[in-house]
Amino acid sequence: MNRRQFLRTGAAGLGAAALGFAGQAGNSKPLRVGLIGCGWYGKSDILRLIQVAPVEVVSLCDVDRRMLSEAADLVSVRQTSHKKPRTFSDYRTMLAGKDLDIVLVGTPDHWHALAMIAAVKAGAHVYCQKPVSVDVVEGQAMLAAARKYQRVVQIGTQRRSTPHLMEARDRIVREGKLGKIGLVEIYCYYHMRNETNPPDSAPPEYLDYNMWTGPAPMRPYNSIVHPRGWRAFMEYGNGIVGDMCVHMFDMTRWMMDLGWPKRIASSGGILVSKGSKANITDTQIATFDYGDLKVVWQHRTWGAEPDPKYPWGATFYGDKGTLKASVYSYDFTPAGRSEPAIHKDVTYELEQYPEDKTEKDLEKQCAPAIRGHMKDMLHAIATGGRPVADIEQGHISTASCILANLSMKLGRTLAWDEKTGRVTGDDEANRLLLRPYRNPWVHPTPGNV
């Protein structure tokens, strides 16, 4: 069974016995699942997994007591057994029992590396949200850990499992309808940068802010940060390039079978929206150089988008045609009259999964892609293969975006040597591949996992 056939199968085709786990059909125990990080996308991911596989969510972990309790109640309603999962405030305690088949990591970005590495050490396969890491060495360590412990690690760059984008790749790009592609523009024009300036305050009593901060620098608590607003600060992620560019850059690499860029250059800053506590850029351009192909990113959190139908997406320019692609649709426009124009919208699957209609904060347009991504992970576990968004692919896309930010910081183009995992001839840039961790947390490296 190939990947496309597998993703088309329903939940009935995903029984534990079919996945190669112990037991005979009808006798198999559900896969035991845990979630670290019970916020927005942590819940979105685990509820999609429940929809497509006979799993038992047995463990939830979060440093926010209210968020943890709400997630436990929701999972107990949605999973078949209606059992309420065990709850933990420390992921290390949750993993100590080594009784989980799959762990989902839905934490803020600065926690991805430590949680994912600990999970594979505990014997679990992992679904980890993107971006992989907040620095390049974290990603290298995560890849080393996945390979050392021989675990499947799927990264939440789910454009690779988005049905209409899979069609665009197969029907437009791979069939050669674009001809020679010399430029791909990737972009985000959402007004998503926080523009408020509330005073710092004491953290709420239900949040363990010290543990939430973990290895990141300790900032005074601010209401912007939690929940979800942490993306406004570079201490916890890599800005809009790390958050939004990583999706479209990864999609481009997947559609075109690209590996590491040869050179990365970026410029930008806070050019317009100067009144907020947020320290991520409001404007940035990055070029990922593949020789005779340039992939150019741009974001602006102010002003109008050039095409209202595609405020976040990618435009592939070929000598035979143009392809625009986003989470909502794709449009192919031929250069001449030899090919018809093609348009395709996202498939929502609301009738097949009616709970999608009422689930709080669910990005309905992304739900089919998450389900497909979960099925693909399960297929990789069953076959011993690599998932479509394997940790190595996630690391390439994430590290390239981190290098763009480093290029902007240093004011120069960076040449990347994929064999050594370092910037060529630039000691200053190489020192920035690893961010210092706050004590007592220890930064992982490929040699200490």
The pLDDT tens digits for 136-159 are 999 999 999 999 999 999 999 999
Q: Taking the alpha carbons of 99, 101, 103, 104 in that order, is the dihedral positive or negative?
A: negative
Q: What is the pLDDT of residue 8?
A: 57
Confidence of residue 339 (pLDDT cuts 50, 70, 90): confident
pLDDT digits (tens, 9 = 90+) for 105-125: 999 999 999 999 999 999 999
pLDDT in tens, 341-357: 999 999 999 999 999 99
Q: Which residues pair with 343 in a beta bridge?
A: 331
* Helix segments in 299-437, DSSP class H: 367-383, 391-410, 427-431
Nearest Cα neighbor of 49 from 375, 361, 360 is: 375
Give the confidence band of 9 by pLDDT, cuts at 50, 70, 90.
Answer: low
Q: How far apart are CA 46 and CA 309, in angstroms?
A: 30
How many residues in total does the chain contain? 449
pLDDT tens string 362-391: 999 999 999 999 999 999 999 999 999 999
Q: Domain ranges for the chain, please list them.
A: 3-160+367-391, 163-349+395-431
pLDDT computed for residue 97 by the predictor: 94
| pLDDT over threshold 90, residue 7 | no
pLDDT of residue 12: 42
What is the structure's pLDDT at 338? 74
Class of the CATH-defined domain 3-160+367-391: alpha beta
Task: Report how far residue 6's alpha carbon sits from residue 19's, in angstroms, rounded to the nearest whole number.
Answer: 12
What is the average per-residue pLDDT within 40-45? Answer: 96
Within 13 Å of residue 206, how many CA atoms lie on the same side as its CB?
10
Contact 92, 115 (CB under 8 A): no
Burial code (b: 16+ CB inside 10 Å, e: under 16) for 344-375 equals: bebeeeeeebeebeebeebeebbbbbbbbbbb
Distances (CA, A) of 245 to 24, 84, 170, 337: 44, 37, 22, 33
Residue 15: what pLDDT? Answer: 44
What digits encode the pLDDT tens for the residues 191-212? 999 999 999 999 999 999 999 9
Structure token pair of residue 95: 């993993």
- What CATH number was assigned to the domain covering residues 163-349+395-431? 3.30.360.10
